[in-house]
Structure 1
Amino acid sequence: MTRTATKHHRRTFTVLAVAALIAPIAGCATPPASAIGQKPASTAGVVSDLPEKDITRWVMPLDEYSAASLVRLVNYAENRRMETCLSKDGFSWPIPVEPTDDASYLAFPKNMSAFPELTVEIARQYGYTANYMPGPEPDPRSFERLNRIGASTPGLDTTLLACRDESRKTFDGGKAGDIFNTTGMWMYEETEKVPQDLVVKKAAATWKRCITAAGYDVSISAPVGDEGEQMPTQKLGIELGFYAPPPTKFPTGGGTYGDTEVDPDTAGPRKSTPAEIELAVADATCRDSSGWTKAYYDAQWNAEVRVVLKHADQLKKMKADIESLTAQARQIIADNPPLH
């Protein structure tokens, strides 16, 4: 699926040293050489190990092989080590405390696929502001504080890089990103055509008639499709007042759109508006009544089953690596308690 791009971008200091430490690893990277060109895996016993279907939590066959939660946990573990290491040289690096238990990482409405499984319940509570990504809710103010400390503290950047390199001698957290990217690539290869599934397309046409009848001029043919947009469209968001229109003139002199729009000391998650909630409820109602959500869920499930069957041996090894890295990350967190 295609996720809507972030609306605002801000400058950051020491991108390598800061952003790489507190931002989740994402995107599609080249898979490890060991994952390329391998023969089809054995499928014996794989199908019987699939989880039970649960559309309410968007449970999928690849969930247990996904490193989506692990990537966040690995970043947090490395940050805890950085805070300890930097403190030995007199530097303050106030990493916010995060929960590490599975329940917190997959708290409602999060799911391992980070799929926008919009229900009427979610729509009424969040509109379109729900965060489906596994892991704790990010706090933009923490990122700003760390950047300000880095920008105003001579020598911190160099020491931080040295601490990071030392940590990675005994903690190969990058493997989590390799697993995440590789399984993500396999999944994309099988699921990119899900919006074109005949049952999904038929349900999408019914959804489009439903949302139009509810009074909304929707330019896309499905809630989540292959046109590069998903609900809510930017056009609808601007018309209903919950998305800011793009600037008519971008700043010059190195500035970026959004630099002066939000006070970083008071920044927080975007809050839904009444108009947004009304649209989201109509959207969710139409997704349900048209059968689109169930059709999309079943089509994605079948696609992920094909991934599990095709890469069974590799996924078994990845699962073992996920379990080992998870245990190591949690031990690092326990050994490096917060200092602030």
Structure 2
Amino acid sequence: MARTRFVGDAGLTARMTLVMFLLGGLFVALVVVLAAAAGQGIGILVAVAGIGFAVYQWSSSDKIAMRAMRAREVTPQEAPELHGMIDRLCTLADMPKPRVGIADTSVPNAFATGRSPDRAVVCVTTGILGLLTTQELEGVLAHELSHVAHRDVLVMTVASSSGIAAGMLTQGAQYGGLGFFGGGRRDNNNGLPVWLVVLLVSLVVYAVSFVLLRLLSRYRELSADRAGAYLTLKPAALASALQKISGGMQRVPERDLRQVSAGSALCISPISLKGLASTHPPLEKRLEQLARIQGELDRPTA
């Protein structure tokens, strides 16, 4: 985690390290199996392509997210109150101020992205600006700034490399019968066709990567709630904001939700995907944590 005044989270650091180690191992295993089944050249090609795509996502994460959410950067003159809130929170957290963006959509949400604290952007929607009070919005912004301080985008992008490569292989192996990965040719031991071996291995790697990334993503959202609540010392305001956002999205037309669903994983509240596929923990779990923090802060000191 970056050295700021956000409360530390050893659990998040440990989980990030473990998931990156496991997914890195999966990525290496995928490349080794592919090289053995389809040839060293194919293995190297997939390794370079997977890493290259991950680097592109990391270096362009702010632009990709802003496009996905149809957002634009705004100046202090265009959004003085929003800039003022972020100025105060960045001073309180002792961190560089990110760029500020607004997405013109009725979907009430916010997100932060960028490859480093110096190249980050925090974005809110017009829907959330019209829904929350000043204290609630500050709670949301503190949550997003904690993602920047934790360098979440870097970690999640690096961790996603194996899943990206496996997804590419899954798509490519489906054309095995057309000549890719040796077509219907079998290996030297008269075993499975090469394309089928590639398909099975890539599906397993993709499934494991999917689950691990979802588990890490849910924990980091809880960590951001916790860090934001301790920074502002107003966990009840963030809890109220989360409830309003959840209720507000239920009233948004499905068409508007689909327009910004591509950036759902980055947002403070999920736009789509529930249950195992969700990138966020259940709202009830987030509210319980914030209630515990509020009780801790309200407890009189000796």
Shorter-chain TM-score above 0.5: no
Instruction: Name the TM-score, length of structure 1 as normaliser.
Output: 0.24
**Higher strand proportion (structure 1 or 2):** 2
**Higher helix proportion (structure 1 or 2):** 2
Instruction: Name the TM-score, length of structure 2 as normaliser.
Output: 0.26
Which structure's relative contact order is higher, taking Cα pairs within 8 Å and 6+ residues apart? 1
